[in-house]
Structure 1
Amino acid sequence: MADLSPDAESRTTPPAAPPAAPRSGWRARWLTVAALGAPGLCFIVLGYEGRRVAQLLTLLLPLLLWLRMPLRTPVGIMVRRWLVTLGILVFVLDGAARTYLLSSYQAAPDSTLVLSAMANTNLRESLEYAAQSWRGLALFGLVLAAVAAWIWQVSGRLEAVPAPGPGRKRSLMDCAVLVLIGILLLLSAAAYANKPWRRLHPVLFWPHWVESTEKLRKGWANLDAVRNQALERAQAAAPVVLREGPSTVVLVLTDSINRDNFSLYGYGRKTTPGLQQHQRQLGAQMQVLRNAWSVDAATLPAIGNLFSFGMPEADDAQHLLALARVAGYKVWWISNHDDVAIEQQHARHADVLQMINREPGRSSMSLDGEMLDEFHTALQAPDQRKFIVVHMQGAHPHYSLRFPKGHNPFDAADDAVDAAMARQGRPVWVRELRQNYDAAVLYHDSVVSELLRLSREADRPQAYTGWMYLSDHGQEVGHVGNHVGHSPGTAAGYRIPAIVWQSHAAAPMPTDWAQRPFRADWAAWTLADLLGVQWHGQQVQHNVLHADYRWQAPQLPQLGTQLPSFTD
């Protein structure tokens, strides 16, 4: 008789294999991830430009990749649903706010324009603005509510996506997906480890933005007092203009320009054709200071030193712009920088302030040529005595953003400069950055040359026009080693161009002054000479145009003994 017991059945019938997970499971999960990422991507693209879009997407990746992980407990699924919804909404809100500011004011949220407006706004003004713009704000709220509902609804579909069975073997596609996830996670980890990328994350950016606004609000009172004190010190010094008749003085102050990359100074690439043409036309009227140096490798200290006559910490320090105003000059400040510190410490000494750029930081795409119209307007103003400061971006990193797209004649250049860098062992990436830097210098030359041309054409009969150009500091672009950027440890970080032009000199010029070593922190003494301003306490030994000029080498511990005499 056959054995009909259950044990006998289990001995004769092999166990059934676990059912394979539906092949559509992983596809459904990836489709859900894509559907959730779409709103974030859309608002990031609307609110950012260029490489920052990729940076923000990289920061968003962890949230989206978390959705790829199968969860089985209801609590875990609900927690993830809430966190993912809120996390994506943070990116959506960030992009929406930036889109609004760009479309309405062509400004980034951390621009001086926006920070200043928020710091200068009280609750009543905010409510009045909301009442005036309620239709747009209501539409904005409805769109965000619809996006939030979409994210919440789609994230709930993850609960219905089945996880792979416990006995199912991984296919080649599964392995490829895991490798892709691993690569994306590594990329995201690198983004979070990079401070300039990490600080763009909305969770970090907006609290810092609120803090910056509050600091600006609190600091304004102090800076107003500092400017008023500088004006009082200038009035106490009783400056006077010795020159008779109309006078226009122009200071063109640029950023991150190394004279070693000027063909005007003997560089192998033709980077300064405009200035060289002016030099041929003007002869001895335009003097190129061959041995010019900054004593700072960064913008803020360099500008602070320049306008305070090299003595920013002195109790009786004078500010050049305050002296010029007290002496009778009307002062313009035209800038392509968006920097709160520079604006508050220096630019607001001016009678007329024009800030062209409304996007701070290295990723600003505002070109220096945008300032030419404002400069022309200042030149045409009827005031008898004018002092015009033009603050340029120059070749401030990123170099590729400092010239119009498609205007790089040195791209993939196979010339003597590139060959020399190859012999020096410079890698390809350094040579490519040098090409971009030289293209930025070439565009920069076109703007500076136009500024000089406009100044020359605006020169009136019986009037005096003085013009000075210099950079705040230099830039290392493969000159010494493979470093690119600001460089306090190499001479390239301090090597700058400096040019002086006068329609006519008030006194005979020393025959050797173009070869004299020149310090940018003493530039205010030379500018005071161009302005024709004299006051008690003037130090002519620091004025490179004066016969009694006496050179003193600055002390720069960062350079060690590389440049002990600070001369070529």
Structure 2
Amino acid sequence: MLTAFSRQTDKQYYLNNDMAQSSRQYDTSVLAPFNEVLKDPAEKKFIIVHLLGTHMKYAYRYPKDEGIFDNKTDTMPINLAKSEQADYNDYDSAQHFNDKVVATLIRDFAASNENGFLVYFSDHGEEVFDTPPHHILGRNEAAPTRPMYEIPFIIWQSTQWINTHQRHLDTMVNRPYSIMHLIHTWSDLAGLDYDGFDVSKSVINKDFQPSPRYIGDPYNKQQPLKTYDQLKK
């Protein structure tokens, strides 16, 4: 499906053609194509960068010399087994490497002096022994926990964009939100208007209205939906 959507664009870069989770393909590979597209003189550009991020297996998401949490034990739950400790540290190292990639994308975008904005988000969260009794790794919608649904969501705006689009986003950072309504937020940022556009579902709009953040098990559709707020903290 991703390939079908991507072929509707003017130009595509397919950088990872290995479906194996053990593939050592690093997200730094997106930086050169990203900068190439930034140099394109087109007046209007819509750029999508799809990262591997911190998908399992975590140890394969970063170069070996980026394993900055290797063998650390002072930042994790005390009851983890040796193999679980390795997964815990690998995830933190993968997250640190992912942060470096995202920061570089933002810096490169800023250096291009483009009049625009950058939005970064994950498609899902991950439970990495966070929730007591600290035995769950990954995702399991049949036994959901908060970390499985909590994601980073960043909006970065260029100086030119800020000067012509006065929005005080720092006052909106604690709004409860689900990316199921992302299209409304993105459209609002871009200044688009169309049938079906709903400002109450745009987290950056003054008329935003929080709505239930539903979660469910796609493998058991007979089970009624619940909301994120029902999950234990």
For this structure pair, what is the TM-score category when the shorter chain's length is used for normalisation? 0.7 to 0.9
Q: CA deviation at 1:502?
A: 1.4
- Asked if 1:515 is matched to 2:169, the reply is no
Q: Matches of 1:388 and 1:487 in 2, distance apart? A: 32
Query: Hey, what does 1:435 align to over in structure 2?
Result: 89
SS at match of 2:214: coil
Quote the Cα distance in structure 1 between the aligned partners of 2:232 and 2:87: 27
| CA shift in 2, pair 1:474/1:506, >3 Å | same
1:466 to 117, 120, 125: 117
* Alpha-carbon distance in structure 2 between the residues aligned to 1:429 and 1:366: 23
Partner residue in 2 for 1:128:
none
Pairing partner for 2:2 from 318, 338, 342 = 342
Q: Is the 8 A contact 2:126 2:138 kept in 1?
A: yes
Name 2:154's counterpart in structure 1.
499
**Unmatched runs of 5 consecutive residues or more in structure 1:** 1-340
Amino acid at match of 2:206: A
Question: Structure 2: 5+ residue runs without aligned partners?
Answer: 218-223
Cα separation, 1, equivalents of 2:7 and 2:24:
24
* Alignment match, 1:482: 135
Q: Post-superposition shift, 1:555?
A: 2.4
Q: Please give the per-residue CA displacement for 1:149-176, whole angstroms capped at 9, x wherever unaligned.
A: xxxxxxxxxxxxxxxxxxxxxxxxxxxx
Per-residue displacement from partner, 1:282-331 (whole Å, max 9, x unpaired)? Answer: xxxxxxxxxxxxxxxxxxxxxxxxxxxxxxxxxxxxxxxxxxxxxxxxxx
Report Cα offsets for 1:65-107 as digits up to 9, x if no partner: xxxxxxxxxxxxxxxxxxxxxxxxxxxxxxxxxxxxxxxxxxx
- Mapping 1:383-462, distance limit 5 Å: 383-415=42-74, 417-418=75-76, 421-422=77-78, 425-460=79-114
The equivalent of 2:205 in structure 1 is 546
Mapped contact 2:169–2:204 kept (Cα < 8 A) = yes
**Could you tell me how far 1:441 is from its partner in structure 2?**
0.7
In structure 1, what is the Cα distance between the partners aligned to 2:169 and 2:69? Answer: 39
Q: Distance in 2 between matches of 1:565 and 1:490?
A: 10
Q: Give the whole-Å Cα distance in 1 for the aligned partners of 2:125 and 2:119.
A: 17
Partner of 2:221: none
TM alignment of 1:53-202, pairs within 5 A:
none
The answer (yes or no) to whether the contact 1:475–1:487 under 8 Å persists in 2 is no
- Determine the C-alpha separation between the residues in 2 that align with 1:498 and 1:439: 20
Q: Residues 553 and 566 of structure 1 are in contact (CA less than 8 Å); yes or no, is this contact kept in structure 2?
A: no
Counterpart CA distance in 2 for 1:547 and 1:343 is: 36
Distance in 1 separating the partners of 2:231 and 2:190: 28
RMSD of Structure 2 on Structure 1 (CA): 2.2
- Quote the offset at 1:510 in angstroms: 6.1
Q: Sort the Cα spacing of 1:429 and 1:451 in 2 relative to 1 into closer, same or farther, 3 A.
A: same
Distance 1:542 1:438, change over 3 A: same
Distance 1:506 1:433 in 2: 43
Deviation at 1:567, TM superposition (A): 11
Give how far 1:368 is off. Answer: 0.3
Partners of 2:30 and 2:7 lie apart in 1 by: 18
* Letter aligned with residue 452 of structure 1: I
Q: Which has the larger radius of gyration?
A: 1
Aligned residues: 219
2:38 pairs with 1:379:
yes
| One-letter amino acid of the counterpart of residue 119, structure 2 | M
For 1:552 and 1:359, how far apart are their aligned partners in 2?
39
TM-score (norm 1): 0.37
Checking the alignment, whether the CA contact within 8 Å between 1:431 and 1:478 is kept in structure 2 is no
Q: Take 2:137 and 2:165, find their aligned partners in 1: how far apart are those partners? A: 42
Q: 8 Å contact 1:357–1:366 — kept in the other structure? A: yes
In the superposition, relative to structure 1, how do residues 411 and 508 fare at CA in structure 2: closer, same or farther (>3 Å)?
A: closer
- Cα shift at 1:560: 7.6
Task: Give 1:523 deviation, angstroms.
Answer: 1.4
TM-score by length of 2: 0.86
Cα displacement string for residues 444-498 of structure 1 (whole angstroms, at most 9, x for unaligned residues): 11111100000111124xxx21111100001111112312122322221111010
Q: Secondary structure at the match of 2:54?
A: coil
User: In proportion to residue count, which structure has more helix?
Assistant: 1
Q: 1:382 to 1:551 in 2, by over 3 A?
A: same
Partner of 2:11: 352
CA distance, structure 2, for counterparts of residue 456 and residue 566 of structure 1:
38
Q: Residues 562 and 429 (structure 1 numbering): CA distance in 2 closer, same or farther, change over 3 Å? A: farther
Query: C-alpha displacement at 1:522, in angstroms?
Result: 1.1
Residue 289 of structure 1 aligns with which residue? none
Contact map agreement 1:510 1:547 (CA 8 A) in 2: no
Deviation at 1:390, TM superposition (A): 0.4
Give the structure, 1 or 2, with the largest relative contact order (CA under 8 Å, sep 6 or more).
1
Where 2:49 maps in the other structure, the secondary structure is strand
Instruction: State the AA in 2 paired with 1:444.
Output: N
Residue 190 of structure 2 corresponds to 531
Other-structure match for 1:218: none
